[in-house]
């Protein structure tokens, strides 16, 4: 069993009903996205991730299950939430405290919170419900050459749900991008790849030791799957999250450039500069922020790394 896949509650315990009734867990839908593939896109975020990247800017996506988030700045200290919690998991003094060992993440407290200071992260949905949400934007897809992008977390962690979503998009002729870290059994990727128009494939490092140290997972399968996709002629755009002190050194960039150059047919690379806006998300989940010591790179450094990759004959853009 791959590391992380044993946590795939959403992919294993959900999805008993086939087709449009199959269920999964999403945690957000972003509309009018312009950096997640061509045209104007709707990005659907699925919960669960097999990696544990130190710089993760979606910590609420890591777990495959529901989570409770608390924004203290919005809290009125009204006690509405403490009154409804059947588990006595909430206490209020200087601020609200959540005893997460007692919390069942039922969401009752979030439902009564007048300011949405409390939020249940994750929503169970059927394929049909998700498609209704996606189709609200179809006019923008047609006019801009856009479509839907499935992201996460790692969407391949809910393989059956994802497959039904992809089939539903194909039936409606909706263009699909799949944003993936590539850490999944090849059999899963091979099964869904005919239903994907473009893979947005995250590449963090080609250095095995560094990758394992910073993401807690080896990159062996990730690189192997990427090579197989390229050899199969699948359209792939490589996305490199540029992390200060991790993969933005000249050596790391050159090693990645050399690796990508060796992938048949892969020419497009998107550099994703680091940003530190996720710090608050960790606090809202009562977790220490692991990125508080990282600072965004100056624009000039990002451009230098772009040129280093272009030296390998790659088409490099700077994303967001
Ligand atoms: S999610 Fe449910 S169990 Fe958890 S604190 Fe809120 S009301 Fe209590
Ligand atoms: S219900 Fe919301 S605003 Fe009121 S105390 Fe709870 S978290 Fe704060």
The per-residue pLDDT for 10 is 42
C-alpha 87 to ligand 2 mean position (Å)? 16
C-alpha 89 to ligand 1 mean position (Å)? 6
Placement of tokens 């996720």 in the chain: 278
C-alpha to C-alpha distance for 166 and 150, rounded to whole angstroms? 9
C-alpha to C-alpha distance for 185 and 182, rounded to whole angstroms? 9
Residue nearest to atom 8 of ligand 1 (CA): 85
The per-residue pLDDT for 1 is 52
Q: Which ligand is nearest to the CA of 71?
A: 2
| Closest to 123 (Cα-Cα) out of 25, 43, 15, 21 | 25
Helix (H, G, I), strand (E, B) or coil at 31: strand
| Closest to 256 (Cα-Cα) out of 244, 241, 234, 276 | 241
The per-residue pLDDT for 195 is 98
Cβ neighbourhood burial of 6 (10 Å; 0-12, 13-18, 19+): exposed
Tell which atom from ligand 2 comes closest to the C-alpha of 116: 2
Q: 163-187: per-residue pLDDT in tens?
A: 999 999 999 999 999 999 999 999 9
- What is the pTM for the complete model shown? 0.91
C-alpha 78 to ligand 2 mean position (Å)? 5
CB of 75 closer than 6 angstroms to any ligand 2 atom: yes
The DSSP output letter for 74 is G
The per-residue pLDDT for 15 is 54
C-alpha 84 to ligand 2 mean position (Å)? 11
Are the C-beta atoms of residues 157 and 49 closer than 8 Å to each other? yes
C-alpha 61 to ligand 2 mean position (Å)? 23
Q: Where are the beta strands (DSSP E) in 51-156?
A: 67-70, 90-92, 96-98, 118-121, 123-126, 147-151
| Closest to 75 (Cα-Cα) out of 58, 59, 97 | 97
CB of 87 closer than 6 angstroms to any ligand 1 atom: yes
CB of 104 closer than 6 angstroms to any ligand 1 atom: yes
The per-residue pLDDT for 79 is 97
- Beta strand pairing call for 176-180 and 118-121: unpaired
CB of 111 closer than 6 angstroms to any ligand 2 atom: no
Mutate to test the pocket of ligand 2, among 78, 82, 97, 98 (most ligand atoms within 8 A of CB): 78
Cα dihedral 257, 263, 264, 266 in deg (nearest 10): -60
Residue nearest to atom 6 of ligand 2 (CA): 81
* pLDDT-flagged residues of the chain (< 50): 4, 6-13
The per-residue pLDDT for 159 is 96
């Amino acid at each position: 069993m791959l590391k992380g896949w044993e946590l795939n509650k959403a992919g294993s315990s959900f999805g008993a009903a086939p087709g449009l009734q199959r269920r999964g867990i999403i945690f957000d839908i972003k509309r009018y996205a312009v950096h997640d593939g061509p045209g104007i896109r709707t990005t659907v975020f699925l919960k669960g991730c097999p990696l544990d990247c130190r710089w993760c800017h979606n910590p609420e996506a890591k777990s495959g299950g529901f989570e409770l988030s608390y924004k203290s700045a919005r809290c009125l200290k009204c006690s509405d939430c403490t009154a409804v919690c059947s588990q006595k998991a909430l206490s209020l003094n200087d601020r609200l405290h959540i005893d997460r060992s007692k919390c069942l993440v039922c969401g009752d407290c979030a439902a009564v919170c007048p300011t949405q200071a409390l939020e249940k992260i994750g929503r169970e949905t059927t394929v049909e419900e998700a498609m209704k949400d996606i189709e609200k934007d179809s006019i923008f897809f047609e006019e801009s050459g856009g479509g839907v992008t499935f992201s996460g977390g790692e969407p391949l962690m809910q393989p059956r749900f994802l497959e039904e979503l992809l089939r539903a998009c194909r039936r409606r002729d909706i263009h699909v991008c799949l944003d993936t870290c590539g850490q999944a059994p090849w059999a899963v990727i091979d099964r869904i790849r005919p239903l994907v128009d473009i893979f947005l494939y995250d590449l963090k490092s080609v250095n095995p030791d560094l990758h394992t140290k910073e993401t807690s997972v080896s990159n062996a399968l990730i690189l192997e799957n990427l090579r197989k996709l390229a050899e199969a002629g699948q359209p792939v755009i490589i996305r490199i999250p540029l992390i200060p002190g991790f993969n933005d050194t000249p050596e790391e960039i050159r090693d990645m450039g050399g690796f990508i150059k060796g992938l048949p047919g892969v020419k497009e690379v998107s550099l994703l500069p680091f940003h530190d806006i996720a710090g608050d998300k960790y606090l809202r989940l009562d977790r220490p922020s692991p990125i508080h010591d990282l600072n965004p790179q100056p624009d000039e450094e990002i451009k230098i790394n772009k040129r280093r990759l272009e030296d390998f004959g790659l088409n490099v853009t700077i994303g967001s």
